[in-house]
Amino acid sequence: MSVQERKQRERAERERLIVATARELAEQQGWDAVTTRRLAERIEYSQPVLYSHFRGKREIIGAVALQGAAEMAVAVRAAASGANGPRERAAALARTYLDFAERNPAVYDAMFQLDGGLAFAREDTPEPLKDAFAALLESLGEVAGDGVHPGLFTEVFWAALHGLATLTRAGRLLPEDAAPRVELLVDRLAVV
C-alpha cells in the first residue's frame, strides 16, 4: 500500500468517526449538543482536523443524512422484498419507514428537518437521497393506480408517512393507533 493510499484510508476512517460520533451524540442529546468543539473532544482530534473534513455542523448533518438515506433504502427494500403482493409491499414499506423514523430520530431530523445543505428533487440531488426515493418508488409505483404518475403518487405517500412520523414523535397521535393508521393509509391510497 502506498503512502497516498494509507493517507486516504486514514482520512476516510476519521471522516466515518466524525459522522458516527455526531450521530451518536445527536441521538443521545439532540442536535444542539453537537458542536465542533464537543466532537473534537470526543474523537480526540483538534478542531482544525475536524474542519479539514467538514466546513461545519451543516456539512456534518448532511453526511449523517446521506448515511441515513442509504440505511433507510436498504431497510425499505428488505421489507418490501419479504412481502407478498403489491399491497403487502406498500404496507411493509410504510411500517419500515415509520419504524426507521422512530428508532433513529436524530438521523431522521438530519434527513428531513435540518439544513444539511443537501438538494432534494433536483439534478444535483446526492445519489443516496435519489436511491432512498427510488426504494420507495419501487414498491409504491405499482399501487399508484391507472392514470396516476408513480413518482407523484410516491411523493404523496411519502408525505403522508412523514406527517405520521412527525406527529407521532411530537406526541400528537396516539402510539397504539400506529398499525391502524398504516392500514388506513394503504387501504385508501394504494390501488391494487
Supply the mean pLDDT for the chain: 95
Q: Which residue has the cell 458516527?
A: 20
CA-CA distances (angstroms) from residue 60 to 5, 28, 175? 24, 16, 31
pLDDT band, very low/low/confident/very high, at 190 (cuts 50, 70, 90) = confident
pLDDT band, very low/low/confident/very high, at 1 (cuts 50, 70, 90) = confident
pLDDT exceeding 90 applies to what percent of the chain? 94
Residue 50 carries which side chain, given as an amino acid letter? L
Q: Tell me the mean pLDDT in the region 162-188.
A: 95
Q: Which residue has the cell 449523517?
A: 64
pLDDT per residue as tens digits for the range 53-103: 999 999 999 999 999 999 999 999 999 999 999 999 999 999 999 999 999
Helices (H), the chain: 3-29, 36-43, 47-53, 57-81, 86-103, 105-112, 127-140, 150-169, 178-189
Task: Quote the cell numbers at residue 85.
Answer: 403482493
Q: Give the CA radius of gyration of the chain.
A: 19
pTM of the model as a whole: 0.93
Q: What is the pLDDT of residue 72?
A: 98
pLDDT per residue as tens digits for the range 126-149: 999 999 999 999 999 999 999 999
Q: DSSP secondary-structure letter at 117?
A: S
Q: What is the pLDDT of residue 86?
A: 94
Is pLDDT at 165 greater than 90 in this prediction? yes
Q: What is the pLDDT of residue 15?
A: 95
